[in-house]
């Protein structure tokens, strides 16, 4: 892979140089005949440039087109500037000897990756000025300009950028190019370059832009005397030429660049250090931000979880409803922002780890208890508490609803029984039979028998009251003490009534032997009246009984039971008429036999008027019960509509969320374009998902209506609101994480210099061996993938690779780990050794660096960053205040501890 990348770089190098040369050649062809002023400038500049090198060999040229014709000095020039030996020249003076020598020179130039289009040896031998100047320009471009590199730009653009950066702080200097810029013509740019690197040679503040001749001559004289740069241009030619020759200016300026190469080396070292420190500072800010966000989120979870774990029940339905409303506010308002914060925190953590890995820094280890896994664990505990809290709330509300219903039922039955029992104790305790006649005693006995029948009929009601009280105790009713007290009073009175009834019967039976007559009609009336009266009371209780139902079917069951009751009314009416017939018969006998005493039924306290009134009340309660059941039926139908309305939306939203999840999954695995294309598609998905949020909100509203109506089940859908919430939150988290993964891949691709084609090849290989389509390869699949790519997989080598791609020994290899492995060997990243070498340049090869050197060579922020963190140097020969840059540099990359 390294060889392949080197070949690609070589191709780019050759093509870039060829393009530069072709551009120059096209300009030569267009101009065919050089402008006289340009030709003069080029002659002088190129001659001086050649002589600056030829003098190292003890020679020079006078006429550029004549002195290179035999090829000897041309070959000598190439040997001096390249440091290489050319083939031995031909020493003959014939034309073909000269052509042979020139061809050797041209072949050497071509061997350096330069195409010499339209330049032949014959033209040089013949003294063609255009071709000779073009050839020399090609040599200058190749050996003096091409290797200039500034901030990822090279050759002409690099030289121009270098000039612009060096002259930027100087007034009246604005370098735009090498031929039109006024700064070259007025000499200020040349003076600025000299002052920037050697401020001791001239005082820039005293220069006048209106004195171009003085500025140019000053710069040219200083360059020649102090910088060993020969005078290649005439100030008068530059001033008097409307458009100075670009090649002449570039050639001269390139000499300044090479003269200051040493200073450039220090500046390059300083730039590298600033870059490294900048990365470190940015990473530290991201670490601090992660710690802050993690602390805030964990604190929120710590505060919220106890609230959700509190299962202290309230005593009333209203208080529990307020708890439920507080929980709804938490789900709608408080939790969603925290879900986004948690997702963003995970994204920031992954981005930070990617930046650290790309910049060859040690992985970030959060404070204890603030790992992503710790946050996920705390979040899981929160959601478990949340789920349990909601279930408890609904269960408790159902319990309170049931309690309220039972308590009301208890009160009704207790009130009816207490009303019935009122006055019974004195009645049973009286001794009226002692002074009664035989007829009266027999009447009292029959009356007592009727009472016992009535008492037995009320036994079931007392048992119901006791059973309801027992259920209220079991369900922990808040006012159970009052219920128990009332129930106990009823039971005590019931036992006492039973005892008194038994005693009174015994007394009446003893007296019955003295009494012989009794009115059989009254007795019959009493016997039939009491059960009928009890039936009517029971019917009234049933007709007024409260009911609680949750479905249409339950209402229909109540309606069916009510219809069955109504079917018994004709039979009851027949019994009523029969009882009235007995009463009428008594009246008839009384009238027939002229009984003048007040006729009172001694066997029953129930009068005909009471029976008639109760019967009328039963007849009124029947249609009222019909209306109540119909109202309940309408309410249950409304509940059913709410269920169906919720189900219709949920059955659409649930599959929609699943479909979006599948689309995101397919986008992650399909290879059909660049990462930017995938990012665009994911952003579109994200836009669609965000736009879908109103549907979730509407469903939340319908769910709230259902809960407010106390509807707890829905047979029309398998989706609950909790399912939809979890799916929606998972969808938001998945799209955010997937976008972050693509951003991380883009960041990795750009930082590692991976082409889109390589990235697609990596993805294709990964997907092919990801047999389970989970987004991760297991160990066996990864081994098969490496073998398919030509790796010789011995156990030791494979174990080494697994330590790189799976340092935690999870048994799986993620796509990001796979990319890191495939690019690690060829990655061009800063290393601790490179940073140490850069500091050594700034320190002038000393093993330590001084504070003033840091402040002189680095920007203020980076300098102070180093000063605050560098340990003192303790090696031999250290000056006071010396700092250890080696320990500092290795600590940056996690290779040592400060």
* Residue 31: pLDDT over 60: no
- Residue 153, beta-bridge partner list: 150
| DSSP secondary structure of 332-390 | IIIHHHHHHHHHHHHHHHHHHHHHHHHTTPPPP-PPTT-SHHHHHHHHHHHHHHHHHHH
Higher per-residue pLDDT: 416 or 312: 416
Contacts of residue 232, defined as CB under 8 A and 6 or more positions apart, other chains included, come to 44, 45, 48, 49, 248, 251, 252, 255
In which element (H, E) is residue 711 found? none
**pLDDT tens digit string along 238-276?**
888 777 778 888 888 888 888 886 666 676 777 778 888
List Cα–Cα distances, 143 to 14, 24, 247, 485, in angstroms: 14, 15, 14, 112
Q: Which two tokens stand for residue 666?
A: 């397919």
Q: Are 358 and 751 in contact (CB under 8 A)?
A: yes
Residue 655 pLDDT > 90: yes
* pLDDT at res. 595: 43
Within 10 angstroms of residue 697's Cβ, the number of other Cβ atoms is: 9
Q: Where are the domains of the chain?
A: 270-402, 687-823, 832-893
What's the confidence (pLDDT) of residue 473?
Answer: 87
pLDDT of residue 515: 39
The CA distances from residue 386 to 335, 497, 714, in Å, are: 11, 54, 22
Quick one: pLDDT at residue 222?
92
Q: How far apart are CA 698 and CA 332, in angstroms?
A: 12
pLDDT of residue 16: 40
Query: What does DSSP assign to residue 543?
Result: H
Percentage of the residues of the chain whose pLDDT score is greater than 70:
88
Whole-angstrom distance, CA of residue 248 vs CA of residue 255? 11
Cβ atoms of 520 and 529 closer than 8 Å = no
Grouping H, G, I as helix, E, B as strand and the rest as coil, residue 876 is: coil
3 state SS of 279: helix
Q: The pTM is what? A: 0.49
Which of 745, 737, 734 lies closest to 816 in space, CA to CA? 745
- Judge contact between 853 and 869, C-beta under 8 A: no
Task: Report yes or no: 196 and 264 within 8 Å, Cβ to Cβ.
Answer: no
Q: What DSSP letter does each residue of 171-232 carry, written as one string?
A: TT-----SSS-HHHHHSHHHHHHHHHH-TTS--GGG--TT-HHHHHHHHHHHHHHHS-----
Tell me the mean pLDDT in the region 305-332.
83
Structure tokens belonging to residue 551: 């479905």
Write down the H helix ranges in 310-334: 317-329
Confidence of residue 651 (pLDDT cuts 50, 70, 90): very high
Instruction: Quote the pLDDT of residue 652.
Output: 93
As assigned by CATH, the class of the 270-402 domain is: mainly alpha
pLDDT at 483 over 70: yes
Q: Are strands 776-778 and 812-814 parallel, antiparallel or unpaired?
A: antiparallel
Q: Quickly tell me which residue has 């018994």 as its tokens.
A: 568
| C-alpha pair distances (Å), 415 with each of 191, 401, 422, 487, 544 | 113, 21, 10, 11, 13
pLDDT bucket at 514, cuts 50 / 70 / 90: very low
Could you tell me the pLDDT band of residue 649, with boundaries at 50, 70 and 90?
very high
Q: Give the range among 20-34, 343-357, 383-397 with minimum mean pLDDT.
A: 20-34
Q: How do residues 518-540 score in pLDDT, each as one tens digit?
A: 357 777 878 888 898 898 888 88
CA dist list (Å): 65 to 42, 54, 129, 131, 559: 12, 16, 6, 9, 121
Contact (CB, 8 A) for 740 and 351: yes
pLDDT > 90? residue 656: yes
- CA-to-CA distance for 716 and 695, rounded, in angstroms? 19
737 burial type by CB count under 10 A (0-12 exposed, 13-18 middle, 19+ buried): middle
| Bigger pLDDT: 170 vs 510 | 170
Residues of the chain above pLDDT 90, percent: 8
Backbone φ and ψ of 818, nearest 5°: -65, -45
CB 128 within 8 A of CB 66: no
| Domains 687-823 and 832-893 in one fold | yes
Cα 20 from Cα 28, distance rounded (Å): 13
Q: What is the pLDDT of residue 7?
A: 30
What are 70-108's pLDDT values in tens digits?
888 888 988 888 888 888 888 888 888 888 988 988 888
- Look at 522 and 292; give whichever has higher pLDDT: 292
Worst-scoring range by mean pLDDT, 173-177, 326-330, 501-505, 769-773? Answer: 769-773
Average pLDDT, the chain: 81
What CA–CA distance (Å, rounded) separates 580 from 614? 14
Q: How would residue 809 be classed by pLDDT, with cut points 50, 70 and 90?
A: confident
Please determine, for residue 795, whether its predicted confidence score (pLDDT) is greater than 60: yes
Strand partners, 813: 777
Give the tokens for residue 557.
Answer: 């069951």
Q: What is the reported pLDDT for 149? A: 67
**From CA 47, how far away is CA 65, in angstroms rounded?**
10
pLDDT category at 150 given cuts 50, 70, 90 is low
Question: Dihedrals φ, ψ of 154, to 5°?
Answer: -135, 170
Closest CA to 661 of 717, 735, 594: 735
CA 331/CA 387 separation, integer angstroms: 11
Q: In this predicted structure, which of 268-272, 432-436, 840-844 has the lowest mean pLDDT?
A: 432-436
Residue 479, token pair as written in the block: 């006012």
Q: Position of tokens 């007592």? A: 448
Q: State how far the alpha carbon of 709 is from the alpha carbons of 504, 643, 705, 884, in Å.
A: 55, 11, 6, 74
Write the DSSP symbol of residue 769.
Answer: H
pLDDT at 846: 87
Q: Which helix (H) or strand (E) holds 813?
A: strand 812-814
pLDDT for 688: 92
**Spatial contact of 124 and 135, defined as CB atoms under 8 Å apart:** yes
Report, as an integer, the average pLDDT of 719-740: 89
pLDDT at 454: 85
Rg (CA), the chain: 53
Considering only CA atoms, which of 594, 420, 453 is closest in space to residue 525? 453
Please classify residue 675 by burial: count the beta carbons closer than 10 Å to its beta carbon, then call 0-12 exposed, 13-18 middle and 19+ buried.
buried
CATH superfamily of 832-893: EF-hand (1.10.238.10)
A 10 A CB-CB count for 620 gives 12
Token pair for residue 468?
Answer: 């309801």
Higher pLDDT, 151 or 5: 151
Express each pLDDT in 153-202 by its tens digit.
667 888 888 888 888 889 889 888 887 566 688 889 999 989 888 888 89
**Angle CA(790)–CA(796)–CA(798) in degrees, nearest 5?**
45
The SS3 assignment for 741 reads helix
Please compute the mean of the pLDDT values over residues 226-231 and round it to a whole number.
86
- The DSSP element (H or E) to which 778 belongs, if any, is strand 776-778
Which of the four pLDDT bands, split at 50, 70 and 90, describes residue 687? very high
Measured between its terminal Cα atoms, the distance across the chain in Å is: 37
**H or E element that contains 672:** none
- pLDDT value, residue 695: 93
232-236, 644-648, 870-874: least confidently modelled range? 232-236
Residue whose structure tokens are 């039922």: 409
Inter-CA distances, 165 with 84, 191, 275, 524, 768, Å: 34, 14, 17, 127, 50
Q: Where are the alpha helices (DSSP H) in 422-519?
A: 424-429, 438-457, 459-474, 480-512
CATH T-level fold of 687-823: Recoverin; domain 1 (1.10.238)
Q: Do the strands 776-778 and 149-150 form a parallel or antiparallel pair, or are they unpaired?
A: unpaired
The answer on pLDDT for 684 being more than 70 is yes
Q: Which residue has the tokens 């309940």?
A: 632
Task: Answer for the pair 65, 129: CB distance below 8 angstroms, yes or no.
Answer: yes
**Amino acid 793: pLDDT:** 64
> What distance in Å separates the CA atoms of residue 780 and residue 764, rounded to the nearest whole number?
18
> CB of 175 within 8 A of CB of 167?
yes
Based on DSSP, count helices (H) and strands (E) in the chain, helices before strands.
36, 4
Confidence of residue 721 (pLDDT cuts 50, 70, 90): confident
Among candidates 184, 203, 204, which has minimal Cα distance to 247?
184
| pLDDT for the residue numbered 659 | 92
Instruction: Evaluate whether 354 touches 295 at the Cβ level (below 8 Å).
Output: no
């Amino acid at each position: 892979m390294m060889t392949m990348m080197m070949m690609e770089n070589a191709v780019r190098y050759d093509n870039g140089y060829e393009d530069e040369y072709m551009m120059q050649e096209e300009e030569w062809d267009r101009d065919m005949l050089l402008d006289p002023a340009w030709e003069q400038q080029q002659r002088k500049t190129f001659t001086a440039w050649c002589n600056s090198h030829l003098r190292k060999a003890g020679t020079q040229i006078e006429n550029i087109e004549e002195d290179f014709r035999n090829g000897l000095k041309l070959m000598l020039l190439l040997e001096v500037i390249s440091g290489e030996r050319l083939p031995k020249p031909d020493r003959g003076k014939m034309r073909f000897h000269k052509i042979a020598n020139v061809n050797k020179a041209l072949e050497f130039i071509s061997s350096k990756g330069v195409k010499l289009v339209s330049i032949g040896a014959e033209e040089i031998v013949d003294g063609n000025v255009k071709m000779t100047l073009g050839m020399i320009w090609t040599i200058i471009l190749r050996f003096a300009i091409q290797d200039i590199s500034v901030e990822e730009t090279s050759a002409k653009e690099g030289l121009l950028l270098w000039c612009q950066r060096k002259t930027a702080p100087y007034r009246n200097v604005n370098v735009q190019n090498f031929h039109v810029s006024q700064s070259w013509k007025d000499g200020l740019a040349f003076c600025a370059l000299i002052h920037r690197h050697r401020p001791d040679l001239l005082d820039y503040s005293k220069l006048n832009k209106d004195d171009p001749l003085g500025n140019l001559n000053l710069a040219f004289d200083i360059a020649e005397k102090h910088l060993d740069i020969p005078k290649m241009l005439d100030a008068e030619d530059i001033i008097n030429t409307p458009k100075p020759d670009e090649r002449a200016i570039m050639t001269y300026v390139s000499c300044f660049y090479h003269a200051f190469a040493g200073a450039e080396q220090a500046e390059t070292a300083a730039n590298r250090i600033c870059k490294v420190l900048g990365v470190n500072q940015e990473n530290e800010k991201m670490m601090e931000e992660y710690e802050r966000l993690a602390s805030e989120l964990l604190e929120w979870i710590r505060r919220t979880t106890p609230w959700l774990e509190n299962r202290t029940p309230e005593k009333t339905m209203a208080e529990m409803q307020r708890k439920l409303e507080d929980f709804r506010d938490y789900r709608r308002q408080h939790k969603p922002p925290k879900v986004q914060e948690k997702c963003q925190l995970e994204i920031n953590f992954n981005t930070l780890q990617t930046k650290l890995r790309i910049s060859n820094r040690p992985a970030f280890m959060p404070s204890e208890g603030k790992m992503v896994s710790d946050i996920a664990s705390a979040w899981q505990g929160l959601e478990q508490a949340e789920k349990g809290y909601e279930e408890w709330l609904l269960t408790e509300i159902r319990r309170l609803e049931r309690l309220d219903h039972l308590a009301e039922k208890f009160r009704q039955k207790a009130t009816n029984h207490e009303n019935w029992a009122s006055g019974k104790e004195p009645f049973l305790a009286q001794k009226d039979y002692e002074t009664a006649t035989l007829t009266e005693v027999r009447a009292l006995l029959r009356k007592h028998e009727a009472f016992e029948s009535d008492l037995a009929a009320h036994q079931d009601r007392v048992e119901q009251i006791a059973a309801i009280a027992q259920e209220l105790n079991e369900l922990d009713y808040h006012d159970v003490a009052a219920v128990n007290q009332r129930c106990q009073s009823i039971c005590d009175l019931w036992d006492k009534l039973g005892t008194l009834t038994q005693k009174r019967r015994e007394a009446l039976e003893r007296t019955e032997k003295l009494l012989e007559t009794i009115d059989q009609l009254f007795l019959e009336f009493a016997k039939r009246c009491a059960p009928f009266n009890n039936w009517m009371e029971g019917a009234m209780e049933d007709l007024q009984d409260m009911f609680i139902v949750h479905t249409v079917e339950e209402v229909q069951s109540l309606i069916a039971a009510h219809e069955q009751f109504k079917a018994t009314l004709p039979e009851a009416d027949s019994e009523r008429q029969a009882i009235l017939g007995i009463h009428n018969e008594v009246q008839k006998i009384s009238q027939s036999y002229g009984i003048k005493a007040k006729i009172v039924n001694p066997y029953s306290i129930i009068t005909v008027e009471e029976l008639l009134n109760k019967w009328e009340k039963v007849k009124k309660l029947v249609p009222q019960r019909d209306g109540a059941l119909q109202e309940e039926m309408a309410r249950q139908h409304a509940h059913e509509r709410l269920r169906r309305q919720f189900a219709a939306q949920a059955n659409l939203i649930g599959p929609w969320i699943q479909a979006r999840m599948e689309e995101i999954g397919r986008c992650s695995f399909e290879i059909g374009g660049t990462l930017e294309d995938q990012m665009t598609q994911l952003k579109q998905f994200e836009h669609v998902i965000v736009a879908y949020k109103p549907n979730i909100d509407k469903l939340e509203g319908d769910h709230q209506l259902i809960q407010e109506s106390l509807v707890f089940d829905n047979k029309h859908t398998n989706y609950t609101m909790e399912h939809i919430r979890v799916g929606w939150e998972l969808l938001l988290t998945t799209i955010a994480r997937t976008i972050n993964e693509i951003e991380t891949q883009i960041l990795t691709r750009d930082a590692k210099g991976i082409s889109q084609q390589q990235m697609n090849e990596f993805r294709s290989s990964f997907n092919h061996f990801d047999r389970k389509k989970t987004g991760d390869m297991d160990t066996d699949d990864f081994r098969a993938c490496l073998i398919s790519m030509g790796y010789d997989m011995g156990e030791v080598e494979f174990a080494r690779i697994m330590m790189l791609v799976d340092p935690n020994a999870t048994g799986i290899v993620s796509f990001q780990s796979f990319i890191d492995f495939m690019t690690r060997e060829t990655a061009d990243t800063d290393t601790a050794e490179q940073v140490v070498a850069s500091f050594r340049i700034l320190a002038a090869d000393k093993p330590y660096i001084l504070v003033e050197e840091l402040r002189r060579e680095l920007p203020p922020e980076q300098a102070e960053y180093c000063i605050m963190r560098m340990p003192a140097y303790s090696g031999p020969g250290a000056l006071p205040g010396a700092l250890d840059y080696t320990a500092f540099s290795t600590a940056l990359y996690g290779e040592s501890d400060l």
